[in-house]
Amino acid sequence: MFRSKRKRQTRKDVHVAQLEAIVGPTEILYEREDLLSYDCDGFTVHKAMPKAVVFPKNTEEVAAIVRYCSVHNLPFLARGAGTGLSGGAIPLNGEVIISLGKMRNLLSVDYENRQAVVQPGFVNLKLTNSISNKGYYYAPDPSSQYVCTIGGNVAENAGGAHCLKYGVTTNHILGLEVVLPNGEIIEISEDGIPDSPGYDLMGLLTGSEGTLGIVTKITVRILKNPQGKQTVLAYFDNVEDGSRAVSGIISAGIVPAALEMMDKTAIEGVEAGAYPVGHPDDIEALLLIEVDGIIAGIDEQIDEILTVCKSRNVREVKVAESEEERGKWWANRKTGFGAMGAISPDYLVQDGVIPRSKLPEVLRRIKEISEESGLRIANIFHAGDGNLHPLILFDSRVPGETEKALEAGTACLKACADVGGSITGEHGVGIEKKEEMRFIFTDEELEAQTRIREVFNPDDLLNKGKLFPTPSRCMDVKKVIKDTVAVK
């Protein structure tokens, strides 16, 4: 970015020059060394180089870039902070990356109507920080919330630890401004008014992993902070007891704000990480349970949770005595993935979902997968909503181990799919889980989805090659047969 303009111009191709004309010379990267940090996102197993990275400052620039790409048949994709864990922002086809990192303003807050309008590059946690002085917050809280952007959250339909009670991103989006793949700007549910007549495009766009349009403005719901909050930490000598405690809490009619679980290997990781709590090193599982709401009603729910834990052979259970202690427990949990770096050179995180009642069964299966592959698997997960995060620990320097880790990850997802679950609860499909889509969807079901893509993104220039498996031969054959029959 700081090189002389003359030198740059000698290397620029015609498209880069045209894109530069749209955003200005300081807002484009196209030299190889500048592009290197855009060759992957949080999914680092796969890498590919973009053609260029552009940094538009407003919706009109995004639209102009998209129109240019569309007219000239250049593949393109949108990128936020690049924290995605499934490779959704990797430029598989040498895309022009449209970074929304410079569209990072909080545009307005309307406390009376409980909504805020942000640009897509606005960081998730910044929203809560900007409104907390008035006692408000934004509910979806993915672990990467201190850096991930709300635009990226919309693309991935991001979740978080507290979505058990408060829902995921889609439940908090009230309106979207979108640049369609042909460059047209549309505004859905302007002013955040719900149920706008017609098909629910907002619902379709949220979680579409950047394949249907580029979101340039987002109206979100904001919530008032709960009056009170209490957090419980429970240690168990075996995973089954921990799982049964999870079911017990849910069946007691309690809706915890969060209900998280970690197994022994995960605890070893977080204790070696940056935020150790001092968990005993010989326990098999821990639960982190949070209840929030009206203070007058919290104590009896906490009592009930303690009773449930005790009836499930808990070794030790305690309630956070201060906000500081609570913060410490959460920091330990939220940095859990990264902490695995302290006990393993590499790790791969998976993201399956299962019906809660299948928890013990699937955890047993994951243990078997670990034994079969010879790789350690740590489990950190949102137990309350059945969203598992097996972390497969491996060493990419050992030949063949990366492949083994990928295989183990696929096997974990298969285990989830086999009990009627899903292959992803919040990380998205991206390129990582494309083929695993077949574990849960038939060819017809996949086709029903690609039909929707064809409506929004008919030329498939926007984020091509993501989300859906490569069409199977069998499907192609079927189509040919169908056509032949029709001709007859």
Partner 1 sequence: MEIQDMPQTSITASSMLKDDKFGNNGVEMAVPGSEEEIADILHKANENGKKIAIISGGTKRGYGGLKNDYDILLSLAQYKGVVEHTAGDMTVTVRPGTTIKELQDFLREFDQMASIDPAWPEQATIGGVIAANESGPKRMKYGSARDLVIGLRVAYPDGTVIRTGGKVVKNVAGYDMNKLFIGSMGTLGVITEVTMKLRPVPKCESLVKLFVSKEQLEDLKTFVVQIQDSMIEPASLELVNPALSKKLFNRDVYTLLVAFEDVENSVRYQEKWIEDNKLSGMDMDVSSQTEAQAFWNAFSKVSPNSLTDDEVNSTRAVIKIGSKNLDVFEWLAEAETLQTKNMTIKMHGGLGHGITNAICTGNESEVKQAIERIRSRAEDRKGYAIVKHLPYALRHEIDVWGKKPAYFFLFEGIKKKNDPNNTLNHKRFAGGI
Is 276 near partner 1 (CB under 8 A)? no
The phi, psi pair for 348, rounded to 5°, reads: -125, 130
Secondary structure element (H or E) that encloses residue 392, with its range: strand 390-394
Q: Hey, which residues between 102 and 121 contact partner 1 (CB under 8 A)? A: 110-114
**Other beta carbons less than 10 A from residue 221's beta carbon:** 19
Q: Are 200 and 283 in contact (CB under 8 A)?
A: no
CB of 422 to partner 1, least distance (A): 4
119 versus 243: smaller Cβ distance to partner 1: 243
Q: Which stretch binds partner 1 (CB under 8 A): 26-34, 43-51, 91-99, 221-229?
A: 221-229
Q: Name 347's bridge partners.
A: 393
Is 472 near partner 1 (CB under 8 A)? no
Is 281 near partner 1 (CB under 8 A)? no
CB of 485 to partner 1, least distance (A): 13
Q: Which stretch binds partner 1 (CB under 8 A): 32-40, 101-109, 288-296, 329-337?
A: 288-296
CA distance 11 to 66: 23
Distances (CA, A) of 474 to 385, 400, 444, 449: 35, 31, 12, 18
197 versus 400: smaller Cβ distance to partner 1: 197
CB of 264 to partner 1, least distance (A): 25
333 versus 389: smaller Cβ distance to partner 1: 389
Report the interhelical angle of 359-373 vs 239-251 (nearest 10°): 150
Nearest-CA neighbor of 176 among 193, 160, 159, 198?
Answer: 193
Nearest-CA neighbor of 383 among 289, 478, 277?
Answer: 289
Sign of CA dihedral 404, 405, 410, 412: positive
CB of 391 to partner 1, least distance (A): 18
Coil, helix or strand at residue 400: coil
Contact mark string toward partner 1, 362..391, x via CB under 8 A: --------------------x--xxx----
Q: What is the DSSP string of 67-111?
A: HHHHHTT--EEEESSS--SS-TT--TT-PEEEE-TT---EEEEET
Task: Give how far the C-alpha of residue 256 lies from the chain's centroid of Cα atoms, to the nearest Å.
Answer: 21
Q: Are 159 and 426 in contact (CB under 8 A)?
A: yes
CA distance 220 to 226: 18
Q: Hey, which residues between 331 and 350 contact partner 1 (CB under 8 A)? A: none
Coil, helix or strand at residue 277: coil
Which amino acid type is present at position 348? L
Q: Which of 10, 14, 281, 294 binds partner 1 (CB under 8 A)?
A: 294
Is 421 near partner 1 (CB under 8 A)? yes
CA distance 439 to 21: 46
Q: Residue 204 is encoded by which pair of tokens?
A: 């379709």
Q: Hey, which residues between 190 and 219 contact partner 1 (CB under 8 A)? A: 190-204, 206-208, 212
CA distance 209 to 456: 13
CB of 226 to partner 1, least distance (A): 7
CB of 433 to partner 1, least distance (A): 8
Q: Hey, which residues between 118 and 177 contact partner 1 (CB under 8 A)? A: 134-135, 156-157, 159, 163, 167-168, 170-171
Contact mark string toward partner 1, 241..260, x via CB under 8 A: ------x--xx-xxx-----
7 versus 451: smaller Cβ distance to partner 1: 451
Q: What is the DSSP string of 169-224?
A: GGGGEEEEEEE-TTS-EEEESGGG-SS-SSS-HHHHHTTSTTSS-EEEEEEEE-EE
Is 297 near partner 1 (CB under 8 A)? yes
265 versus 350: smaller Cβ distance to partner 1: 350
Number of chain positions touching partner 1 (CB under 8 A): 94
Q: Hey, which residues between 25 and 54 contact partner 1 (CB under 8 A)? A: none
Q: Which stretch binds partner 1 (CB under 8 A): 41-49, 320-328, 329-337, 420-428?
A: 420-428
Is 429 near partner 1 (CB under 8 A)? yes
Q: Which of 130, 231, 373, 424 binds partner 1 (CB under 8 A)?
A: 424
125 versus 440: smaller Cβ distance to partner 1: 440
Q: Hey, which residues between 61 and 90 contact partner 1 (CB under 8 A)? A: none
Is 462 near partner 1 (CB under 8 A)? no
